[in-house]
Structure 1
Amino acid sequence: MEHKQVLIVDDDARNIFALKAVLKSRSIPSISVGTGAEALQILSGNHGVGAVLMDIMMPDMDGYETIAAIRAMPANSQLPLIAVTAKAMVGDREKCLEAGADNYISKPIDVDELLVQLQQYLSR
């Protein structure tokens, strides 16, 4: 199976480090960016990204805005997007899904749950 890479979008280097370590331990290639604008830049090219892990709470352009902008790009309208957020309040999951995320996982991340979600998208 050809491994597509996972794009990690998070403004916190510790989160990126932890996520990259988990993915690397499962031989899943990944790239990371710190802003929504950088994510859009990567996704506007021929990127080989098979799924996106999107932090919601980011400065400037938050995850909701970034997800909506990605969904507005015809080439990425079906790209699997998993919202990753520390905001685990009532209604947050729905808000992420309404913005266009395919799935939602809260911090601290349940690694097994994350890997199950990613496998289902990357094996399509």
Structure 2
Amino acid sequence: MNKKILIVDDDPRNIFALKLTLKARGYQTESCTMAREAISVLEKDNRFQAVLMDMMMPEMDGYQAIKIIKEMPSLSNIPIIAVTAQAMPEDRQKCLDAGAEDYISKPIDVDKLLTAIEKLM
């Protein structure tokens, strides 16, 4: 089974922590710090099982990136989990409205994240 996850976050510390956590659970990870870069990575390799998308990034935010990814036929089926420090109920809905399949607030609860990933498999 393909257990490859793309982590998109402008904070290298978040990427580092997520990579360690996911690697310990047998996942392969790739990461990028910019949304545009994430779209390029997905265009080159659409075999990701999920994308963890930080919503607040410079240049292009996660909301824009999710919309672009979901509009691309070759990528629209890749599940995206929104990861954000914005933890109000309306923030969750905003992420889902943008096209994310699920939502995890920061600081990340590892068990919730793993449950969300397993659900998408």
TM over 0.5: yes
Contact in 1 for aligned 2:51/2:80 (Cα 8 Å): yes
Which residue of structure 1 aligns with residue 81 of structure 2? Answer: 82
Q: Distance in 2 between matches of 1:70 and 1:31?
A: 17
Residue 27 (structure 1) shift: 0.9
Q: Which segments of structure 1 move beyond 3 Å, counting only runs of 4 or more?
A: none
What is the percent sequence identity of the aligned residues? 54
| 1:91 counterpart SS class | helix
Which residue of structure 1 aligns with residue 24 of structure 2? Answer: 25
- Return 5+ residue gaps in structure 2 as ranges: none
Q: Distance in 2 between matches of 1:24 and 1:78?
A: 23
| Count of matched residue positions in the alignment of Structure 1 and Structure 2 | 121
Residue 112 (structure 1) shift: 0.5
- Return 5+ residue gaps in structure 1 as ranges: none
Contact in 2 for aligned 1:96/1:104 (Cα 8 Å): yes
Which residue of structure 2 aligns with residue 110 of structure 1? Answer: 109
| 2:87 counterpart SS class | coil
Q: Deviations over 1:42-64 (max 9, x none)?
A: 11123421100000010000000
Q: TM-score, normalised by structure 1?
A: 0.94
Q: Deviations over 1:54-111 (max 9, x none)?
A: 0001000000000001001101112110000001123100000000000000001110
Which residue of structure 1 aligns with residue 51 of structure 2? Answer: 52
Q: Distance in 2 between matches of 1:33 and 1:46?
A: 14
Contact in 2 for aligned 1:9/1:32 (Cα 8 Å): yes
Residue 30 (structure 1) shift: 0.6
State whether structure 2 residue 26 is matched by structure 1 residue 9: no
Contact in 1 for aligned 2:46/2:74 (Cα 8 Å): no
Q: TM-score, normalised by structure 2?
A: 0.96
Code of the aligned partner of 2:79: P
Code of the aligned partner of 2:5: V
| 1:84 counterpart SS class | strand
